[in-house]
Chain A
Amino acid sequence: MSKKMQQRRRERIDRGIKIRTEGIYALMSWRELAYLIMPRMVLIVGLLALPLVMPGLYWPRVISIVCIYALLALSFDFLAHYVGLVSLGGALFVGIGGYLTALLNTELGLPPLLAIAGATLIGSAICTLLLLPCLPLRGVYFAIITLMYPLFLARVIEALDIFGGTDGILGIDSLPNAWVEQYGVIIMLVVCLFALRRLVNTDLGLVLRAVKDNDQAVRASAMNITHYKALAVFIAAAIGCLAGAYLAHIYMWAGISIFALDFSVLPIAATVIGGSGTLVGPVLGCLILVPVSELLRDFGTLRIVFYSLILLAFIVFRSEGIMVYGQRKYHQVERWTKI
């Protein structure tokens, strides 16, 4: 049996159409254009159509939550796989964004959309400042410190009893209407996704990836790695704060539970399941994980057990993720060849 198996091996070859569509020649036929555009269109149209095919009161809320987690997962994926900074602190971004928009809205009386924009910019500046001293840290140390920051801030708010203490800040304005609430976050997700995809292919993206792969080489090229890391953290924090600010306006509430570990763990799970390093993968992962966890809501905390087991299985046994697998099937043919 095993001898027979040794005689053959699986061979992967790029599809002809993939090669043809790589250059400007893709413009020559509709079929090749479709090959290029179809996956992107399926995602964009699918996301935009979701609220239309899922009417009701309950599911639109779930769709918004999916998009918020997808934004967080996007920021995690960007930081971890394009800059090499593994941040376990999605909750830090969400918490700061949420609290800032709450303050801007209730204290200064800014309208929700302005408050969200303000919270995104100020929040990401604050997050960058907080993380600036830790940027030289590597690997597990950076991960630990980002995990501790949200816990620390939550305990500080609880202990000092500021910003409403354990009750949180109540009475945040909701977004103008249901359509804005629904489509605002979907459009922002799509914009962030494609902007990041473009960013990582520019010269800046090249430098960031170089920081990840070999920071000493970047240094030797007379580039300041801390500067680039800070810039990347600012971008990722902006996306995270945007998600947090939006969440606060959807719930019309900001409290210490927005520093909860959920916002750190679920995006990571989604990234691992969807395919890390692809940027689209995390969005797909959220589209799968969040509804599943909503469906399991009846089982109480069992759903956390369930998704942590999925996460474990994926990271240990199938670490490539759905998106990488899908891309391989889309772009390549596999066949058995004799050796």
Chain B
Amino acid sequence: MDILIYGTINSVALALYALGFALVYGISRLPNFAHGALYILSGFITWSALNTLGFNYFVSILLSLLVTGIIGAVIYQFFLIRVRGMEISEIIASYAIALAILEGLRWGGFKGMTYTLPVFISGSTTIAGISVDYQRLLAVAIGAVLVVCLWLFTRFTRIGLALRGMAQDERAALMLGIDSDVMAVVAMGLGSSLAAFAAMLLLPLGNIVVESGYNVLILAIAVCVVGGIGSWPGAVLAAFIIGFAQILTVVYIGSHYQMVVALLAIILTLILKPSGLFGQQKELEERV
């Protein structure tokens, strides 16, 4: 039973990590290696707003979502857009940004165990004999709501439809008057905000550590690769597969293997079925 509960929580966390990455990759084909860095950065923005500037917690969260989104958009508009379409340059450039942000934060003194965000609601409850704290339950609930909202957003709003149009066929979208550069910037801003959103939900569960930025990136990549890059249902399903696989290995083998599972999932998927579970559309482009 505890496997079921903690597996679900872990899976939702993975899905939250991956949402922003999947969105940006699906729409502008940018493997955003700065995703994990933006996740951590938003945590520190909230912490600073809360403790240094003395804002209300809720206001700090909103501020952090907004600022991280703007930072993402600015990064795209001024740097990444120039290497658009050159995948390798995109990877190297976004990875360089990630390194700059993370190591900059580390240099700026944000290290160690002293930085934590308060939980939204403290306390815990018991479900079927297992005690679960409210923050984790809240993360699962809000995560589920977020996925539904995103689904609605991409189907029923003008911007959402434009984003999906661009993801499907950029030239056709251009002919219909969708400015693909603007949409890519919007997508990157949105993806960064999603990273910040995940950070707001999940960071209160632990400390804000710079190193976890790299892990978040690896987990996000794992989920997206296994699910099929650019496929939403695939990403959610993959989050559950990897989430439960991780919890099972932690319970039955040992906690050292948690990251091994994610890395193994990436390697096996890419070797056996590089298009992932649900990504049929681009199969021919990925393999010779």
CB pair A304–B91 under 8 Å, yes or no, is no
Q: Is the CB of A152 within 8 A of B288?
A: no
* Smallest Cβ-Cβ distance to B215: which chain A residue: A151
A265–B95 CB distance below 8 A: yes
When C-beta atoms are compared, the residue in chain B nearest to A310 turns out to be B96
- Distance in angstroms between the alpha carbons of A88 and B106 in the assembled complex: 24
Given contact pairs A152-B264, A311-B96, A315-B89, A140 touches B83 in the complex (Cβ within 8 A): no
Q: Most B CB atoms within 10 A — which of A80, A219, A299, A302?
A: A302
Binds A, one of B60-68, B130-138, B236-244, B251-259: B251-259
Contact with A along B59-94 (1 / 0, CB 8 A): 000000000000000000001101100011101110
Please tell me which stretch of A22-30, A104-112, A154-162, A234-242 contacts chain B, meaning at least 4 of its Cβ atoms lie within 8 angstroms of it: A154-162
> How far in angstroms is the closest Cβ of chain B from A190?
27
Contact string against B for A residues 174-216, beta-carbon threshold 8 Å, 1 for contact and 0 otherwise: 0000000000000000000000000000000000000000011
Residue of B with least CB distance to A211 = B288
A300 to B95, CA, bound (A): 19
In the complex, what's the smallest C-beta–C-beta distance from B25 to chain A, in angstroms? 9
The answer to whether A137 and B99 touch across the interface, beta carbons within 8 angstroms, is no
Docked pose: A155 CA to B31 CA in angstroms: 24
Q: Which residues of A contact B79 (CB under 8 A)?
A: 312, 316
Closest to A132 in B: B271
Chain B contact residues: helix, strand, loop or mixed: helix
Q: Is A149 an interface residue (CB 8 A)?
A: yes
Residue contact A137 to B267, C-beta cutoff 8 Å: no
A330 on interface, CB distance cutoff 8 Å: no
Given A141-B274, A265-B95, A301-B106: A80 touches B88 (CB 8 Å cut-off): yes
A-B contact count (CB 8 A): 119
- B286, A141: Cβ atoms under 8 Å? yes
Task: Decide if A151 touches B263 in the complex (CB within 8 Å).
Answer: yes
B285 within 8 A of A: yes
Interface: B170 (CB within 8 A):
no
* Contact mask for chain B residues 245-288; partner A; CB cutoff 8 A; 1 contact, 0 none: 00000000010110110011011001100100000000001111
Asked if B83 contacts A148 (CB within 8 A), the reply is no
CB of A138 within 8 A of CB of B107, answer no
Within 8 A of A (CB), among B174-223: 218, 221
State the Cβ distance, B93 to closest chain A Cβ, in Å: 5
| Max chain B Cβ within 10 angstroms of own Cβ: one of A80, A136, A137, A144 | A144
Cβ of A21 < 8 Å from any Cβ of B?
Answer: no
Q: Give the nearest-CB partner of A272 in chain B.
A: B92
Nearest chain B residue, comparing its CB with the CB of A80? B88
* A304 B254 Cβ-Cβ under 8 A: no
Contact A144 B104 (CB under 8 A): no
Residue of A at shortest CB range from B33? Answer: A147
Chain A residue nearest to B30 (CB atoms) is A140
CB of B250 to closest CB in A, whole Å: 12
Please measure, in the bound complex, the distance between the C-alpha atom of A38 and the C-alpha atom of B14, giving whole angstroms: 57
- Tell me how far the C-beta of A96 lies from the nearest C-beta in chain B, rounded to whole angstroms: 15
- A-facing mask of B95-121, CB < 8 A → 1, else 0? 111011001101100000000000000
Decide yes or no whether B45 CB sits under 8 A from chain A.
Answer: no
Report whether A300 and B267 are in contact in the complex, using a CB–CB cutoff of 8 Å.
no
Instruction: Decide: A133 near B260, CB < 8 A? Known: A138-B288, A144-B31.
Output: no
**25 pairs, CB–CB < 8 Å, chain A vs chain B:** A136-B288, A137-B274, A138-B285, A139-B87, A139-B286, A140-B87, A144-B31, A144-B270, A145-B267, A145-B271, A148-B221, A148-B266, A148-B267, A155-B259, A159-B257, A159-B260, A268-B92, A301-B107, A304-B99, A309-B100, A311-B92, A311-B96, A312-B96, A316-B80, A316-B89
Seen from chain B, the residues whose Cβ lies within 8 Å of a Cβ on chain A are: 31, 79-80, 82-83, 87-89, 91-93, 95-97, 99-100, 103-104, 106-107, 218, 221, 225, 254, 256-257, 259-260, 263-264, 266-267, 270-271, 274, 285-288
